[in-house]
Chain A
Amino acid sequence: DADVTQTPRNRITKTGKRIMLECSQTKGHDRMYWYRQDPGLGLQLIYYSFDVKDINKGEISDGYSVSRQAQAKFSLSLESAIPNQTALYFCATKSITGEQFFGPGTRLTVL
């Protein structure tokens, strides 16, 4: 089945470290998104991309960067991780009908 996958699923790191979260999809969708989920705050958009090499900022892009080098891959980087970036991160794709399909999530802990 076509799917959205994320690696790693869990990561513990230290303040100041560089971290990359990877997202891959086999759905053939052009549009991809990165969200952050914190308890009680819902899903907040970090960055999104319409196509290869297209990058757009979301609501909370500060402290994050992304790369879209291929249609199937969208990576999220934290250049210098800080404790308040501890959260659950979801990648998503979007079909032409508007439905978003989420990956399984990456639980990131910054000590």
Chain B
Amino acid sequence: GENVEQHPSTLSVQEGDSAVIKCTYSDSASNYFPWYKQELGKRPQLIIDIRSNVGEKKDQRIAVTLNKTAKHFSLHITETQPEDSAVYFCAASRSGGGNKLTFGTGTQLKVEL
């Protein structure tokens, strides 16, 4: 089955700096890669996703890049703000097979003033 590894497990940045979280996956058939943000005590919520037919996707301060050859994808947050502090999860799935998402173990991002 799919295995998703996520790094780093914790990340501390100064407000206004950029943050990068990286994930690798094992199943070359995976073609859907979402990122979820989970604030303390809240449910995970989708912030951006990318499919294997594109290499990059951007939404305001958030971008995701995908390298299919190397089987890794990354989340980039620019101009970080205190409200970006949360746990971020990457995930991967493929068409069929129940479209099961396999999640990474999460990155605790802390944006310091």
Binding site for B on A (CB under 8 A): 31, 40-45, 48, 50, 56, 58-59, 90, 94, 98-100, 102-105
Q: Is the interface of B mostly helix, strand, loop or mixed?
A: mixed
Is the pair A90, B34 in contact by a Cβ cutoff of 8 Å?
Answer: no
Q: How large is the interface on B (under 10, 10 to 19, 20 to 34, 35 or more residues)?
A: 20 to 34
With A56-B98, A94-B99, A105-B43 as given contacts, are A42 and B49 in contact (CB-CB < 8 Å)? no
Bound-state CA distance A99–B101 (Å) is 10
B32 / chain A contacts, CB cutoff of 8 Å: 98
Is the pair B99, A42 in contact by a Cβ cutoff of 8 Å?
Answer: no
Partner of B49, one of A43, A58, A90, A99: A99
Is the pair A58, B103 in contact by a Cβ cutoff of 8 Å?
Answer: no
Instruction: Tell me, yes or no, whether B9 is within 8 Å of chain A by CB.
Output: yes
A50 / chain B contacts, CB cutoff of 8 Å: 98
A43-B44, A102-B43 are known; give 13 further A-B pairs, CB within 8 A: A40-B106, A41-B105, A42-B105, A43-B89, A44-B103, A45-B100, A45-B101, A48-B98, A90-B43, A98-B49, A99-B46, A99-B49, A100-B101
